[in-house]
A and B are shown apart, each in its own frame.
Chain A
Amino acid sequence: MKKSIKFLAVLMSAAVLLQTGSLQAAASESAPDVSLTEGKITYSTSGGLFMTATETTYNVWSPAGVTPYYGVALSLENAGSEVNVEITNENSFDQTLRFNFVTTTGTYALENKTVVAGKNTINLQASSIDDFSGEITALEVIGDAFFCLNGVIVVNGVENAAGEEIWTPGEDGYTEIKNDAVSSSVYLVDKNRLQGSNLASGSWYPVTFKTATDMSDCEGFSFYIDTTIEGKDVYFNKYIQELRAESADGIGEKWYAPDEGAYNCYPETGAPFVMTGNLIPAYFKGRVVVPFNTFQIPDWAETYNGTLDLNNTDGQIGFTFDGSRGDFIIGLSGFSLEEKVGVIENVSVTQGDITFIDDMSSYTDSTTANYSWRTNWSLASPCTVELVQNPEPSVGAIGNALRITPLDAPKNPEPDPATGNSTPTGFTALELFPSGGSFDISGSTGITFFVKNEKNSPFYLNCEFDIMQEGYRQRWAVKQYGRYTLYDTVTGTQKLFNAFSGIYVPANFCGWVRIDYSQFTNPSWESVAGDFNTDSGLVYFVINIETLRFSGHTFIFDSLGVYSEKTEVKTQFYTPEKDIVSAIGGTAQ
């Protein structure tokens, strides 16, 4: 048994006070460990809510077989409007848990409940929730799960091998997670707290996952990660150590995942993609699958036979987080070895010389569109993002598009937690790849998108993106007076405009915008050096909108992509070798 488990809080039962009659057994397919008997929820011993703790730190971890999050979700049926949950806190101190009712209309958070040492009966009433509606189908129990790293944390997941993972991306080459070496622990790595302990800013924080020493039947490993909490990308090394009896510490070759090594990312929503750079982008939420065959011995480490001997490791896979990236909090869970690791082929939609980064076709509604296109800068006057059908498909990009509407500033905005400033900035950043991504831009010459100004007055927006430079993100923004092409698909005119505070979009313009990479530059605040190159991929895209100034405007945004052809504008007096129409494919679509 795992020695570090100081207390065991098990959902012993939940007495369901019925309003409508008897309760039927209803174990969800996604939570096979939960079985429901009359009047009680019985949780199997392997499927309980486990907490590990020391005097100052604790960890909440959920079993495999439930939503990979720092808590558990229990399926309920005919739960009525009031639920009693019995919890035994085997620790010697109190703890706070949050309970959410999941209903057919949404998730409703109940107030946090204190779980005292020993036995607890928690009464949860739907009537305490404003606007509660729907029928209760599940109960989420979520730990206050700031896990404070204190040196090297080793989690032995063997005894927590709870069975099947529900997360199955189902991509070619990806197989089910092995059951015999699963640690479904969840960490929230809180750097702020680390700074308060023995790890200073700029340090590397190690976290290790226990595995079998023989991993020779595996091609890689996977983990679930959530970087949405603070919305910052996270960089960390991943390594394996071989055993070597002859060496003083018993450790042989050390193998690291290099920055150029590719790994698969399966976001919870949206298409899977390939990432490099040992980076997990901000706002990513999903599973990452890392193949062993990319691992290398770094220059500073000893080489013995130069072969990765997966049958003779020290029984762990290590992660070292780069603290120089600033504060971050991530969730990390569901670590697993993988028998087989395939390679995701990014399937790109093209049109003429355009390869779309996001043609908006994957979104089913505004909610899913808002998941990928996130607004940032909380102090700003916001903007709404709706998924619409391009209202003029015959003259523009066909199908799904975003309608963006800048709004007035909030009356009493919450102060920025970092600066304390509560004055609205008037800007909103609308970001793509908040759920992670890397888009191959090799061979391309610029950025393009479709925009329709729905108002009879001009507006402008800023357009910026990040590429990777030796493991660091580097920002590129349209330079002052940078030239860009406007191709109006309604009038058929092609024009060149200059960027002032951004991309100037004329009144009623409807068509394509093209901006060569040559018209981008590093913002003054960018400290990451290096010339622009298209080798490392585009990992972030943002449009900044001066929402206060342009509140009341609406515009359609669609078909973000990169293009490959150098073009000039075709005018009454000038016919270039290649213009945007011929580059797109000779149509106005």
Chain B
Amino acid sequence: MKKIFTLLLVSLLCLSAAACSEQKKSGVTPKPVDGVALAFDDGTDYYSVAPSFIVEDETMYAYYTSNATAKKRDSAIVLRKGTLKNGKWEFGKRQVLLTVSDSGWDAGSVTDADVVKGSFGYEGTTYSYLMAYQGCADKSERNQQIGFALSVSPEGPFVKIPEPVVKYDPAVSGYTWGVGQPSLISEDEAGKIRLYYSVGEELYTYTMTAELDCSDCSDIKGVDGAFMMPIEGLVDGVRNETIFNNAGFARKGETLFVVRDYNPVATIEPLVATAVQLASMPIKDTYSNEGEWTVVDERINALDLMGETDLDGWQRVYSSSVIKDFYGNVAGDSPELALTVTSFDESTREYRYYQGIIIYSSEYDA
């Protein structure tokens, strides 16, 4: 069983003395660490989940979901810029890029963002960066929808398109989770993008893809043509019960990579996945009846994430993405992953603010 965390243990395991020192100086309590080191530490006042890490030149843009206000269960899309020093990414301060609207479909939460580069017109301005994010009108995490925001810079400011782009109608599909967890790949390095997203409706949970023409974001084309991504080839813990959701996509040439939650999720809190799975398939096969994934790494779990010290390894691993460039291409020769991980208090099962993000590298044949 996982040992109960103590702050003493956490402090002993802190990998960066300088970082600890900085956090102490700023009054931030570092997150408990249970495996390989976090990419950055928002401290125990902030959760850090659902990463979209994008590399451009020598900079990594780490988009992720966090709370906007310390110790408050709200949500925001946050950015940290990283620079590569001595083979390690060092990240700067967090910048809040997107928060909930005062009213409307995303007044309750904004989460799970991804960003793609291109040429996107909207109300007389041409933007270079398009952010897709998941929004909810309230705190229920039901009837969620996907919206877009645009910017001329990867660091914002992002201008929201008011209405959701991928809508969810509970009258049609039931009062359930909705649509969300968007992942983007550019098709032409201009206005055409592939949007992958999860659907959790009354009948099933699955992943869809929509081929969108966002040259004019006031008239986005292709939403109604969304189709299901293949499931065949993916492997979950229960035979013949594969749930394909919470996935991050990237392409390398004509090959599509996906990292997804390995299901079923843990049966005790935290009720999130204990592993993720990396798989690939030719993009062309997604248009065929016989499209089938090839599993690259069936389970990336605690055993893979024990780190260099005597730790158990992160026992919850979920909500991940393939590190890519702004056009959605795999960054580097082999897919690197940004994984959400968390430790938790054994007695209370509390974990919300322990959630952090790690960078996971392995040598895959890409």
Contact = CB atoms under 8 A, between A and B. Distances in A.
B203 interface: yes
Nearest to B213: A572
Contact of A483 (B192, B221, B225, B290): B290
A495 B171 CA distance: 22
A493 B224 contact: yes
B213 A481 contact: no
Contacts of B10: none
Contact of A496 (B171, B242, B287): B287
Given A481-B242, A493-B224, A576 B203 contact: no
Interface in A474-518: 480-485, 491, 493-498, 500, 504, 507, 514-516, 518
B231 A571 contact: no
B173 A457 contact: yes
Contact of A569 (B221, B231, B287): B287
A514 B289 CA distance: 9
Q: How large is the interface on A (under 10, 10 to 19, 20 to 34, 35 or more residues)?
A: 20 to 34
A507 B206 CA distance: 16
Interface residues of B, number: 33
B154 to A, nearest CB: 24
Interface string A517-530: 01100000000000
A304 interface: no
B290 to A, nearest CB: 6
B249 to A, nearest CB: 14
B231 A498 contact: yes
B203 A569 contact: no
Contacts of B221: 572
Contacts of A514: 289
A494 B228 CA distance: 11
B253 to A, nearest CB: 15
A515 to B, nearest CB: 8
Given A481-B232, A481-B242, A573-B192, A496 B213 contact: no
Contacts of B15: none
Contact of A500 (B204, B224, B227, B232): B204
B345 interface: no
A497 B228 contact: yes
Contacts of A504: 203-204
A326 interface: no
B291 A573 contact: no
Interface in B211-266: 211-213, 221-222, 224-228, 230-232, 240, 242
Nearest to A496: B227
B185 to A, nearest CB: 11
A456 B172 CA distance: 6
A198 to B, nearest CB: 46
A504 B221 CA distance: 24
A297 B286 CA distance: 53
Contacts of B206: 498, 500
A495 B228 contact: yes
Given A493-B225, A498-B230, A573-B194, A483 B289 contact: yes
A573 B211 CA distance: 7
The SS class assigned to the B binding surface is: mixed
Contacts of A571: 211, 225, 227, 287
Contact of B227 (A497, A519, A576): A497
Contact of A458 (B172, B230, B242): B172
A132 B240 CA distance: 56
A159 to B, nearest CB: 62
B203 A460 contact: yes
Nearest to B283: A574
Interface centre among B213, B284, B288 (most CB of A within 10 A): B288
Given A484-B289, A504-B203, A572 B228 contact: no
B166 to A, nearest CB: 14
B187 interface: yes
Contact of A572 (B171, B204, B211, B284): B211
A142 B192 CA distance: 74
B226 A573 contact: no
A493 to B, nearest CB: 5
A478 to B, nearest CB: 11
Contacts of B212: 572
Contacts of B172: 456-458, 507
B224 A491 contact: yes
Nearest to A575: B287
Interface in B267-314: 284, 286-291
A530 B240 CA distance: 22
A485 B290 CA distance: 11
A340 B253 CA distance: 67
A504 B224 CA distance: 16
A210 B228 CA distance: 62
Nearest to B242: A481
A573 B194 CA distance: 9
A514 B290 CA distance: 13
The 8 closest A-B pairs by CB, nearest first: A495-B227, A481-B231, A572-B211, A483-B289, A568-B287, A516-B289, A493-B225, A573-B211
Given A456-B171, A493-B225, A498-B228, 18 more contacts: A446-B289, A458-B203, A481-B232, A482-B232, A483-B290, A483-B291, A484-B289, A495-B226, A496-B288, A498-B206, A504-B204, A507-B173, A571-B225, A571-B227, A571-B287, A572-B212, A573-B192, A574-B287
28 contacts: A446-B289, A457-B173, A457-B174, A458-B173, A458-B203, A460-B203, A481-B231, A481-B232, A483-B232, A483-B290, A485-B289, A495-B227, A495-B228, A496-B227, A496-B230, A496-B286, A496-B289, A498-B231, A500-B206, A507-B173, A518-B290, A568-B288, A569-B227, A569-B287, A572-B192, A572-B211, A572-B213, A573-B194
Interface of B: 171-174, 187, 192, 194, 201, 203-204, 206, 211-213, 221-222, 224-228, 230-232, 240, 242, 284, 286-291
